[in-house]
Amino acid sequence: MCGYPENLLLIIRRLPLCCNQIYASFVMKLDDKSCNGAPDLIVEILSPGNTRKERCAAALKQKFDAYQEAGVQEYWIFQPDDRNVFQYVLNDEGIYIGLHPLTDEDELVSRVFPNFRVDLAAVFKD
């Protein structure tokens, strides 16, 4: 189903937003005292059945810009209602490049952590 390098620490947090509940997985750069720098990967899972799409879109745009500016190398947005994932990767100029949208027929492979793979059929299984 999923595989990830043994040296990764996944911290999962629940972040409330005005439009829905967002779950974010952070792959952090930790030392023995604190986190150094921006997360390498942020994963957001939109709440199914969200009825306030305009507010959600505005919040996503704001966070997209903040993550890009902070230097988050990779950003995934899962949309359970549509059974798809949008994957963004920071280029050499510090700008996100959107990759081909993925569906439940695909495998999601991190560009930052190539051994971290997600079988989307298993994720979106009813």
55-104 residue pLDDT tens: 678 888 989 999 999 899 999 999 888 999 999 999 999 999 999 999 99
Alpha carbons 48 and 71: distance in angstroms, whole number: 28
- The sign of the dihedral angle between the CA atoms of 46, 49, 50, 52 is positive
Q: How far, in Å, are 18, 51, 103 from residue 125 at the CA level?
A: 27, 22, 12
**Segment 20-63, tens digit of pLDDT:** 222 233 334 555 555 567 778 888 888 776 656 666 788 889 89
Instruction: Report the length, in residues, of the chain.
Output: 126
C-alpha–C-alpha distance, residues 86 and 118, integer Å: 13
The partner residues of 19 in beta bridges, in order of sequence, read none
pTM assigned to the model: 0.72
